[in-house]
Amino acid sequence: MTNVLAVESLSKQYGPTTAVDGISFQVARNEIVGLVGPNGAGKTTTINIILGVLEPTGGSIRIEGIDVATERSRALECTNFAAVYAPLPGNLTVYQNLRIFGMIYAVKRLSDRIERLLRDFDLERFRDVKAGVLSSGEQTRLCLAKAMLNEPHLLLLDEPTASLDPATAQDMRAKIRALADERRCGVLWTSHNMYEVEDVCDRVLLLSRGKILLEGDPKTLPRAHGKDTLEELFIAVARE
């Protein structure tokens, strides 16, 4: 397995506060890595740094071997993201949003790609509906469709199923799993739903106060630390 994302000694300091404290990890092709941790652990900060919207204090990030600090545009061409706190503009329709972001990612055969995504994410009937009037679950599906536009090699998902009902969340997990398996895509996935992480992630990184405290297979990691479930392990770490 080759790495699609390589994070090395990454740190972010806000004055006296350390948000991310020298973390290193990789995401391989076909791999879904869960980034979990309590609120304020540094998960979103890490994702923002990888996306190039936040400058790290130290360390390096390489996406497909491309340094984000020096070749941001090229690195982000093969990356995409969906985050629960970054809905697409509500004053544009579903189709308009996908077209604009498809152009920004320079997607080839864009019209065909949009039609495919509208079908895959069950958004066809909302094609000409403004994104702002969609339910939160429908908006999340739109964000995920946007995240798939450029068939990314690296997909960053910040609580992607937070506002989805259990059935839709399961469908989305299956789609993302299929993307990782079929498209040789690496996924970095943050979630507070430990059952979801256990179900979908190949590997989990447990982050607390900006450091990676534990790393391993989400199915075997709890037992290795004397806990029955990942949720129990998470709670124990969060309360330390």
Partner 1 sequence: MTTVRTAAIVLRHLYLVSGSPARMLPLFAWVAIDMVLWGFITKYLNAVSAAGFDFVPVFLGAVLLWDFFTRVMHGVTMAFMEDVWSRNFLNIFATPLSISEYVGGLVLSSIATSSVGLVVMLFLASSIFGLSFFAYGIALIPFLLVLFLFGIALGILGAAIVLRFGPASEWFIWPVPALVSPFAGVFYPISTLPRWMQHICWALPPSYIFENVRAIVAGGTASVSELMVGAGLAVIDVILVCWVFVRVYRHSVRTGLIARYSAESVS
96 binds partner 1 (CB under 8 A): yes
83 binds partner 1 (CB under 8 A): yes
90 binds partner 1 (CB under 8 A): yes
Near partner 1 by CB under 8 A: residue from 25, 33, 43, 44:
44
Show the binding pattern over residues 157-196: x = contacts partner 1 (CB under 8 A), - = does not: ----------------------------------------
Greatest alpha-carbon span in the chain: 52
C-beta of 93: minimal distance to partner 1 in Å? 8
53 binds partner 1 (CB under 8 A): yes
- How far is it, in rounded angstroms, from Cα 39 to Cα 1? 31
Q: Which is nearer to partner 1, 104 or 236 (CB)?
A: 104
- Secondary structure of the chain in the HEC alphabet? CCEEEEEEEEEEEECCEEEEEEEEEEEECCCEEEEECCCCCCHHHHHHHHCCCCCCCEEEEEECCEECCCCHHHHHHCEEEEECCCCCCCCCEHHHHHHHHHHHCCCCCHHHHHHHHHHHCCCHHHCCCEHHHCCHHHHHHHHHHHHHCCCCCEEEEECCCCCCCHHHHHHHHHHHHHHHHHCCCEEEEECCCHHHHHHHCCEEEEEECCEEEEEECCCCHHHHCCCCCHHHHHHHHHHC
40 binds partner 1 (CB under 8 A): no
Near partner 1 by CB under 8 A: residue from 25, 105, 126, 189:
105
Q: Residues in contact with partner 1, total (CB under 8 A)?
A: 34
Near partner 1 by CB under 8 A: residue from 101, 121, 126, 234:
101
- How far is it, in rounded angstroms, from Cα 29 to Cα 184? 5
Near partner 1 by CB under 8 A: residue from 62, 99, 113, 203:
99
Tell me the window of 50-58, 113-121, 189-197, 216-224 that interacts with partner 1 (CB under 8 A). 50-58
C-beta of 229: minimal distance to partner 1 in Å? 30
Q: Which residues are near partner 1 by CB under 8 A?
A: 14, 44-45, 48, 51-55, 72-74, 76-77, 81, 83, 85-93, 96, 99-101, 103-106, 146
